[in-house]
């Protein structure tokens, strides 16, 4: 076994990738990621010891967030970047350790000599040892299946929280509670004294903190760029060269639009960047054309046809084909060997997109793959502005049910289920969505109910927070105490770890009866699944017909 990874929905046979990742991740990269996670746990252990003495270290929490985010599926495939980050992790751990030991010695008058997990001490300067150690400390190093499952569920929830935290940090929004939990949660995954019940409590706390992290990011995005507005988003093309920007980073979007203004180069969004079209701050740019293409997994075909350069700001990057690899640029935490990387901001300045802009000028305009427009911009402020109209429609019976179909898209053929579900839901139902799962149905003509579109797209996966707010506010308006009494069903598609954070957020809020597909996570053991079923009635998907009948019956 060269590696073991089962953190995404497409893991081999829904069991685990052991030779290479289905995502395109090589075994050596997987081992480096496992080692980085391991050392980050050691950082967290010392950060927790320091907190016991009243010392907070936000810098280490920020480093943990960035390190975790870099290991999310389809973010970074670059071994050199991971080797560098592991070395940085040693330095961060040493700094936190030194700070803790100094305070400890001052307080107790003696050196600290307690025993801590090996993750708090392992060190090597030999890169070959990095790969070997990574194989030893990965997922399967926890032998007990239930404990392993809970540790991984917690870790993947933390990865999602870390991603949202990094997005918000870039826009100078932070939260002490989120920072603290990144340290607490990571330390918990190497705490052998924690029982299954203790880990379940930590997993539920991860859901609570995920809600907080999404709220912080929502505040950051809307504070800088305004609240998303209902918008018809163009999916056609112009006859000028263009840059395609994918991912989730809105500050990258802002700076790219500024730097391309007046250059003769247009800007198009792709994948999870689609919702950028709905923010007021970006609408002033006349060279911002619209969205090109679909969900992340079609990029091998669509990046080819775009003709111009592509900027990847976060996940999800599919290993690029040689035919267009020279047109792919990465930035932030994204990395791929042999692909040009745009460096981070320095001293409060902007990123320099000159290289990709000049590249675009030499390229042909995009090949048109479709035309028309799709709706977006139905985040919580837009929906709540017509809440009285929505509530009235529910009371009149013209809206019988809401179906939350948020989450991720992917390559599985079984994901046609979500398209068929959208097509077959009764005309008195409304779909609430966020994330790239919407690409399965956002180009269908689903019509409206009394002027309310039957598809309400709240935005990126992190904008699932909007769906939580909408549900809570509807409950208040309808004077319902239990959120499960609302006429809302949850049919969530998942792929990577941010979706895990969203799921944990829903569980923390007490939502029951969630359908999760197209497969249940491989990292959920039978014992852990039983806990989720018994406490939250979580379930897999069935047939479209059976699931629609059950949802309409409130099941």
Q: Does domain 231-361 have CATH number 3.40.50.2030?
A: yes
pLDDT score at 391: 85
The CATH topology of domain 12-224 is Substrate Binding Domain Of Dnak; Chain:A; Domain 2 (1.20.1270)
pLDDT score at 465: 86
Stated as kind and residue range, the H or E segment containing 460 is none
Stated as kind and residue range, the H or E segment containing 492 is strand 488-493
Structure-token pair, residue 59:
């810098």
Low-confidence stretches of the chain (pLDDT beneath 70): none
pLDDT score at 387: 83
Do the domains spanning 231-361 and 379-552 agree at the CATH topology level? yes
Instruction: Give the sign of the dihedral formed by CA 137, CA 143, CA 149, CA 151.
Output: negative
pLDDT score at 529: 96
Q: Report the distance separating Cα 401 and Cα 389, nearest Å.
A: 15
Residues 6 or more apart in contact with residue 251 via CB below 8 angstroms: 170, 171, 224
> pLDDT tens across 448-485, in order?
998 899 999 999 988 888 888 888 888 888 888 888 99
pLDDT score at 476: 85
| Neighbouring C-beta atoms of residue 125, cutoff 10 Å | 8
pLDDT score at 496: 95
b/e per residue 188-215 (b: at least 16 CB within 10 A):
bbbeeebeeeebbebbbbbbbbbbbbbb
- The beta-strand segments (E) located in 230-359 are 231-234, 242-246, 266-270, 288-291, 310-312, 328-331, 340-342
Structure-token pair, residue 194:
């924690």
- Interhelix angle 544-552/416-424, rounded to 10 degrees, is 50
Q: Report the distance separating Cα 332 and Cα 69, nearest Å.
A: 11
330 beta partners: 312, 341
| Beta strands at 373-376 and 231-234: parallel, antiparallel or unpaired | antiparallel
| CATH class of the structural domain 379-552 | alpha beta
242 beta partners: 266
pLDDT score at 461: 87
Q: Report the distance separating Cα 326 and Cα 363, nearest Å.
A: 12
Domain spans of the chain, in order of start: 12-224, 231-361, 379-552
Residues 6 or more apart in contact with residue 329 via CB below 8 angstroms: 309, 310, 311, 312, 339, 340, 341, 342, 355, 356, 359
Which residue carries 């806990």 as its tokens? 531
């Amino acid at each position: 076994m060269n590696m073991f990874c089962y953190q995404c929905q497409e893991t081999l046979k829904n069991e685990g990738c052991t030779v290479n990742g289905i995502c395109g991740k090589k075994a050596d990269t997987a081992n480096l990621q496992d080692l980085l996670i391991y050392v980050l746990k050691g950082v967290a252990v010392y950060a927790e010891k320091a907190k016991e003495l009243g010392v907070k270290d936000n810098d280490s929490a920020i480093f943990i967030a960035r390190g975790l985010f870099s290991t999310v599926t389809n973010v970074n495939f670059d071994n050199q970047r991971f080797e560098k980050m592991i070395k940085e992790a040693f330095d961060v751990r040493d700094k936190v350790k030194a700070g803790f030991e100094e305070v400890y010695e001052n307080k107790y008058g003696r050196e600290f000599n307690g025993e801590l997990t090996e993750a708090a001490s392992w060190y090597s300067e030999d890169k070959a040892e990095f790969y070997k150690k990574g194989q030893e400390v990965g997922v399967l190093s926890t032998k007990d299946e239930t404990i392993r499952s809970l540790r991984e569920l917690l870790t993947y929830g933390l990865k999602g929280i870390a991603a949202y935290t990094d997005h918000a940090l870039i826009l100078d929004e932070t939260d002490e509670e989120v920072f603290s939990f990144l340290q607490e949660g990571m330390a918990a995954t190497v705490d052998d004294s924690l029982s299954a019940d203790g880990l379940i409590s930590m997993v539920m706390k991860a859901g609570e903190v995920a809600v907080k992290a999404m709220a912080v990011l929502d505040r950051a995005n809307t504070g800088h760029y305004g609240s998303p507005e209902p918008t018809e988003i163009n999916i056609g093309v112009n006859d000028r060269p263009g840059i395609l920007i994918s991912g989730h980073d809105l500050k990258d979007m802002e700076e790219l639009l500024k730097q391309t203004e007046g250059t003769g180069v247009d800007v198009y969004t792709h994948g999870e960047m689609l919702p950028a079209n709905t923010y007021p701050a970006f609408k002033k740019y006349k060279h911002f054309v619209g969205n090109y293409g679909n969900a992340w997994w079609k990029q091998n075909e669509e990046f080819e046809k775009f003709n111009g350069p592509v900027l990847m700001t976060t996940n999800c990057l599919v290993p690029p084909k040689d035919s267009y690899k020279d047109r792919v640029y990465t930035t932030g935490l994204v990395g791929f060997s042999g692909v040009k990387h745009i460096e981070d901001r320095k001293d409060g300045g902007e990123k320099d997109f000159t290289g990709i802009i000049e590249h675009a000028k030499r390229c042909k305009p995009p090949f048109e793959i479709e035309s028309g427009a799709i709706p977006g911009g139905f985040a919580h402020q837009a929906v709540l502005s017509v809440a009285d109209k929505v509530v009235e429609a529910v009371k009149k019976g013209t809206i019988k049910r809401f179906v939350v179909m948020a989450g991720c898209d992917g390559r599985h053929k079984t994901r046609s289920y979500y398209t068929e579900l959208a097509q077959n839901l009764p005309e008195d139902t409304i779909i609430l969505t966020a994330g790239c799962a919407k690409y399965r149905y956002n180009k269908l003509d689903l019509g409206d109910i009394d002027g309310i579109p039957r598809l309400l797209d709240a935005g990126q996966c992190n904008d699932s927070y909007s769906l939580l707010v909408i549900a809570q506010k509807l409950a208040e308006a309808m004077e319902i105490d239990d959120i499960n009494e609302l006429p809302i069903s949850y049919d969530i598609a998942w792929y990577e770890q941010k979706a895990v954070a969203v799921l944990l957020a829903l569980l923390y809020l007490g939502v029951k009866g969630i359908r999760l597909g197209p497969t249940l996570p491989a990292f959920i053991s039978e014992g852990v699944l039983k806990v989720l079923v018994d406490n939250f009635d979580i379930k897999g998907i069935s047939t479209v017909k059976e699931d629609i009948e059950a949802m309409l019956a409130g099941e």
